[in-house]
Structures are given as C-alpha cells and as structure tokens.
C-alpha cells in the first residue's frame, strides 16, 4: 500500500507500540492503523505513560488524504479541544491515519487506550462545544482584562449553581430610578 501523504512511498509493517502493528511510511513516519488490530491489541495491553513526559507539539498534516486501501477520501476527526491535530479515518475500511508523533500525542493525552472514542459524534460535538466555550471566554477576557474576567467568571459559576439564580439575575439587572 502507498503512503497517503508521500507520493511513491510504500507503507511497511512496523510496531508503533509493543504488539501493535501498523503500516508505517519511512519518509513521513505516519502510520496507517487498522482499528481491528487496535481493538485486539487494546483488549490485551494497557501501556502506561512513562512518568515525566511533557506534551510536545506534534505537526499535523492538514491536507485531505485518500485511504490507501480503497482510495476514498478519509474523514478528519479532532483529537481534543486543546489540540489542533486531527486524525484521518476511512470508516469503510476501519483504518486510521496517524501523522508522525500523533500516537505519542495520544499517549500523552491518555487517549491511546480509547482511540475509537475520538471517531464518535459525541466526542466531536464535545470538542466543538469546548472550543466555542473557550472562544467565548477569550472574547470577554479581552474586553475585561484577565483580573476582572476571572472575578466575573467565578461569580457566574457560583451564580449558575445557586438555588436563587433568577433572583440574583433580577437583582443584577434592576435599577431603581
């Protein structure tokens, strides 16, 4: 099979983790991972993250990829709201493409043992919601400055859990002329 990233380079069988075989490209070091292989492996292995490892930036190839098996376009899935990296999946073949370093990134995020979760609607919706929330907060932080924003944010959090929420809102917005 050819690498979906590098023209003319073949994928070769290689372990990306002990006992977990993938098709790896020697040039870009990306890996095509069969989710069936992955599930077998995951049922038997629980590799733990080596202590003290820092999360490092991993480069993500953002171009559209075609599946090396069936030549259809693969779909991109966000790993998480804090990461720009996306994984490619061919749902038909159940094959995932990981760019160089993305397996390591998954381990650092402790997602390596729940990989298929990333490919669910629920996971993707949650990533979008978290990003929107972050975007929303950043906008107000810019307007208010960090100190005041933190005060308002803490207050909002406290208020939202208060039994008399509606009374608090009313008090805040009512002005006696």
Interface ranges with Zn ion (CB under 5 A): 3, 5-6, 9, 25, 27-28, 67, 69-70, 90, 92-93
Residue with Cβ nearer Zn ion (5 or 85): 5
Cα–Cα distance measured from residue 3 to residue 26, given in angstroms and rounded to the nearest whole number: 9
111 touches 78 (CB < 8 A): no
First to last CA, the chain: 76
Grouping H, G, I as helix, E, B as strand and the rest as coil, residue 177 is: coil
How far apart are CB 80 and Zn ion at their closest, in Å?
Answer: 24
Grouping H, G, I as helix, E, B as strand and the rest as coil, residue 73 is: strand
Closest CA to 106 of 157, 148, 47: 47
How far apart are CB 107 and Zn ion at their closest, in Å?
Answer: 21
Residue with Cβ nearer Zn ion (83 or 95): 95
Residue with Cβ nearer Zn ion (66 or 113): 66
How far apart are CB 43 and Zn ion at their closest, in Å?
Answer: 23
Cα–Cα distance measured from residue 123 to residue 33, given in angstroms and rounded to the nearest whole number: 20
How far apart are CB 37 and Zn ion at their closest, in Å?
Answer: 15
How far apart are CB 108 and Zn ion at their closest, in Å?
Answer: 22
- Tokens 């991972």 belong to which residue? 33
Residue with Cβ nearer Zn ion (79 or 90): 90
Q: Token pair of 76, please? A: 């991109």
Residue with Cβ nearer Zn ion (91 or 172): 91
């Amino acid at each position: 099979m050819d690498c979906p990233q590098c023209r003319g380079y073949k994928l070769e069988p290689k372990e990306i983790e002990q006992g977990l075989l993938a098709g790896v490209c020697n040039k870009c070091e990306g890996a095509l991972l069969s989710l069936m292989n992955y599930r077998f492996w995951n049922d038997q292995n629980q590799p733990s993250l080596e202590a003290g490892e820092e999360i490092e930036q991993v480069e993500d190839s953002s171009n559209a990829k075609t599946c090396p098996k069936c030549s259809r376009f693969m779909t991109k899935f966000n790993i998480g709201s804090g990461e720009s990296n996306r994984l490619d999946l061919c749902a038909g073949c159940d094959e995932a493409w990981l760019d160089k370093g993305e397996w390591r990134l998954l381990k650092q995020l402790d997602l390596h043992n729940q990989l298929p979760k990333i490919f669910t609607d629920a996971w993707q919706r949650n990533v979008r919601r978290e990003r929107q929330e972050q975007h929303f907060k950043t906008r107000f932080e810019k307007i208010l400055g960090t100190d005041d924003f933190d005060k308002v944010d803490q207050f909002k959090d406290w208020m939202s859990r208060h039994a008399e929420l509606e009374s608090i809102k009313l008090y805040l917005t009512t002005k006696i002329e």
